[in-house]
Structure 1
Amino acid sequence: MSTMLVTGGAGFIGANFVRLTIERGAADHVVVLDKLTYAGRRDNLAGLDASAVEFVEGDVCDAGLVSSLVARADTVVHFAAESHNDNSLRDPSPFIHTNILGTYTLLEAVRAHDRYLHHISTDEVFGDLGPGDPRFTETTAYAPSSPYSASKASSDHLVRAWVRSFGVRATISNCSNNYGPYQHIEKFIPRQITNILDRRTPKLYGTGEQIRDWIHVDDHNDAVLAILSRGRSGETYNIGSDGEATNRTVIELICDLMGAEGYEHVADRPGHDQRYAMDASKLRTELGWSPRYTGDLRAGLADTIAWYRDNEAWWRPIKDAVEAGYAKRGQ
């Protein structure tokens, strides 16, 4: 039987990855390690067969625990990270702890036990682009602009250093902005969807002209499985879906799909990057991968709206507290 360790597997992208892994039969047994911070929730894994998915609550910086779990696994997929940009601007320390020290701890464990590691990263390590700039490639120079993106850039460099210095078997993927089921409602898309469902006015940060390459979480995780199956150790793969759209376009699509009348402009995030766009041609050419929602943001959003509408019990208990926090910041 094959065993996969998934760090951060109770978070948004990680939980969806665990579900897809079980659905596809990509592993016989999945061990989820998650600290259950604000984005990690046990109920993100609800309904999965307990004999196939084992949950361990713990910190990826706990060297003893991590080593014991890595020893049991054939493959390690590292999602665990603090990932909310706004939170990193208010308090960078958890980002340094989890994203840098946690990755170091995991690398030392996979080195000691000679296990394969796939490290999940972000497009934000590259900084931002101007409107006419070419998309990020795997060789684009890093230029992070927030504590979050700087900590993720650091973790990427650690993985590459351990591959070169110690012969660790590892791959890295840098992905564009995800959306879909189980995403915390502090994030842009689920916040607007739940605002409308809650009869609140949707909120657009600043002018809304920032551009993101939006990808449905299932497409991201399908790409990760392709890398695990066919990727080459030591390589980095960009993941993107050719889904570039401004935040204004996204909120207007949500309003249109949900029959909402208009939105409110609120204060922008400090240091808000202008544009992210991923060139995923290496992934497509070398591994034969393609996304389900290629350039079809409307269909992906409709799928996501339906999930939040059908799962009100998942987001309703935290909605008031999230909106109160944004209200204090004028957002």
Structure 2
Amino acid sequence: MRILVTGGAGFIGSQYVRSILSADPAASITVFDKLTYSGVEANLAPVANHPGYTFVRGDICDVDAVDQVMAGHDAVVHFAAESHVDRSIAGAGPFVMTNVVGTQVLLDAARKHGVGRFLHVSTDEVYGSITEGSWTEDWPLAPNSPYSSSKAGSDLLALAYHRTHGMDVVVTRCSNNYGPYQFPEKVIPLFTTNLIDGKRVPLYGDGGNIRDWLHVSDHCRGIDLALRKGRSGQVYNIGGGVELTNKELTGLLLDAAGAGWDMVDHVQDRKGHDLRYSLDITKIREELGYEPQVTFEEGLASTIAWYRENRAWWEPLKVKAAQES
């Protein structure tokens, strides 16, 4: 199967590409990535010499470029997205263009070229916020940020192509990912790298917001199960089953760094900050045999160790991000 992976130089996309190519000498993957601030081609260096690996730089909103790269592929795994909530609050335009229009361009090209399966990678944030219990896949969408609204729009668009055109579309929705190669604007790599450098960390509000944490390798296993075995037209939640308040997570990161709460700045809460996310993963467990394999204790320790050992990867990214902000 020849797979086109959009956003394959990003955090989750590159994990997926590395996992597939390192496990299968006969695998064939084309990575299509614009290499924006969070796309790093070096993320793919471990598999760059794989005979089935091809990298093409391009924008998913570029109709001609997408048409050209789509030809000859059997499946699409669509990661490419603007994903940082704070950036979407500051300016929603790039999120609508990339997440909604870019997805439409890809769907049109996949339909034109007769691509078999189109797997659209989404987020639990499309459901909004939940006080108790967990979201099932048929839960109404109620996004609260420009980012999550744009992802909800792309989800609905992908599913509409299945219903309208009969395309083989599957949507996955994940909880908060963590692991190596995550751009250091997200909470775990931001706090970890700040503390490595003896810098303070910013905690939104009272830190009471709750998130379900999923190791990126578990997420990518779930994606591949959905790609190969999922039912067409279906949505599959992929969660980690570890719920922590942001304050609890901060405490774990402080302990790992040997730092105290005096290193924490309590900053004004994010606008429209969702209180709690929680995914019910019964469907993917029962239909596809998915189960998270990385414990949070093990995953967090290995992630922190990776950032300690890979300053040459993250330090230039933080410098560049500071210069652009």
The RMSD of aligned alpha carbons is: 1.5
The answer to whether the 8 A contact 1:21-1:27 is kept is no
Stretch of structure 1 that moved more, 50-59 or 308-317: 50-59
The answer to whether the 8 A contact 1:185-1:322 is kept is no
TM-score normalised by length of structure 1: 0.93
> Are positions 1:136 and 2:129 aligned together?
no
Which residue pairs with 1:112 in the alignment? 112
Aligned length: 321
> Are positions 1:309 and 2:308 aligned together?
yes
Which residue pairs with 1:202 in the alignment? 201
Write the letter of the residue equivalent to 1:125: V
Which residue pairs with 1:33 in the alignment? 32
Q: Deviations over 1:9-65 (max 9, x none)?
A: 001110111101112329622100011111111111123133332111110011222
Q: 1:198 to 1:325 in 2, by over 3 A?
A: farther
2:172 aligned counterpart, secondary structure: strand
Runs of 5+ unmatched residues, structure 2 = none
1:142 aligned counterpart, secondary structure: coil
Q: Structure 2 CA distance, aligned partners of 1:82 and 1:218?
A: 21
Which residue pairs with 1:186 in the alignment? 185
Q: Structure 1 CA distance, aligned partners of 2:233 and 2:222?
A: 17
Stretch of structure 1 that moved more, 20-29 or 265-274: 20-29
Q: Structure 1 CA distance, aligned partners of 2:158 and 2:22?
A: 29
> Are positions 1:148 and 2:147 aligned together?
yes
Please report how far the alpha carbon of residue 319 of structure 1 lies from its aligned counterpart in structure 2 after TM superposition. Answer: 2.5
Stretch of structure 1 that moved more, 65-74 or 275-284: 65-74
Write the letter of the residue equivalent to 1:159: A
Which residue pairs with 2:234 in the alignment? 235
Q: Structure 2 CA distance, aligned partners of 1:241 and 1:200?
A: 29
Which residue pairs with 1:99 in the alignment? 99
Q: Structure 2 CA distance, aligned partners of 1:266 and 1:323?
A: 18
Q: Structure 2 CA distance, aligned partners of 1:321 and 1:43?
A: 16
Please report how far the alpha carbon of residue 201 of structure 1 lies from its aligned counterpart in structure 2 after TM superposition. Answer: 1.9
Which residue pairs with 2:281 in the alignment? 280
> Are positions 1:266 and 2:262 aligned together?
no
1:292 aligned counterpart, secondary structure: coil
The answer to whether the 8 A contact 1:4-1:27 is kept is no
The answer to whether the 8 A contact 2:18-2:46 is kept is no
The answer to whether the 8 A contact 1:253-1:298 is kept is no
* Structure 1 outlier segments of 4+, above 4 Å: 320-326
Q: Structure 2 CA distance, aligned partners of 1:49 and 1:118?
A: 23
Which runs of structure 2 are paired with 1:311-330 in the superposition (5 Å)? 311-320=310-319, 322=321
Which residue pairs with 1:56 in the alignment? 56
The answer to whether the 8 A contact 1:36-1:42 is kept is yes
2:47 aligned counterpart, secondary structure: coil
Q: 1:240 to 1:251 in 2, by over 3 A?
A: same
Q: Structure 2 CA distance, aligned partners of 1:124 and 1:227?
A: 19
Write the letter of the residue equivalent to 2:154: S
> Are positions 1:124 and 2:121 aligned together?
no
Q: 1:148 to 1:203 in 2, by over 3 A?
A: same
Please report how far the alpha carbon of residue 118 of structure 1 lies from its aligned counterpart in structure 2 after TM superposition. Answer: 0.3
Please report how far the alpha carbon of residue 320 of structure 1 lies from its aligned counterpart in structure 2 after TM superposition. Answer: 4.3
Q: 1:111 to 1:226 in 2, by over 3 A?
A: same
Please report how far the alpha carbon of residue 177 of structure 1 lies from its aligned counterpart in structure 2 after TM superposition. Answer: 0.6
Q: Structure 1 CA distance, aligned partners of 2:324 and 2:140?
A: 35
Q: Structure 2 CA distance, aligned partners of 1:66 and 1:325?
A: 28
Q: Deviations over 1:204-243 (max 9, x none)?
A: 1111100000101001001001111211111110000111
The answer to whether the 8 A contact 2:122-2:171 is kept is yes
Write the letter of the residue equivalent to 1:77: V
1:72 aligned counterpart, secondary structure: coil
Which runs of structure 2 are paired with 1:77-96 in the superposition (5 Å)? 77-96=77-96
Q: Structure 2 CA distance, aligned partners of 1:154 and 1:60?
A: 16
Q: Structure 2 CA distance, aligned partners of 1:277 and 1:170?
A: 24
Q: 1:284 to 1:62 in 2, by over 3 A?
A: same
Which residue pairs with 2:13 in the alignment? 14
The answer to whether the 8 A contact 1:126-1:142 is kept is yes
The answer to whether the 8 A contact 1:208-1:246 is kept is yes
Q: Structure 2 CA distance, aligned partners of 1:287 and 1:25?
A: 20
Write the letter of the residue equivalent to 1:170: V
Runs of 5+ unmatched residues, structure 1 = 327-331
Q: Structure 2 CA distance, aligned partners of 1:165 and 1:196?
A: 51
The answer to whether the 8 A contact 1:214-1:243 is kept is yes
1:272 aligned counterpart, secondary structure: coil
Please report how far the alpha carbon of residue 4 of structure 1 lies from its aligned counterpart in structure 2 after TM superposition. Answer: 0.8
1:46 aligned counterpart, secondary structure: helix
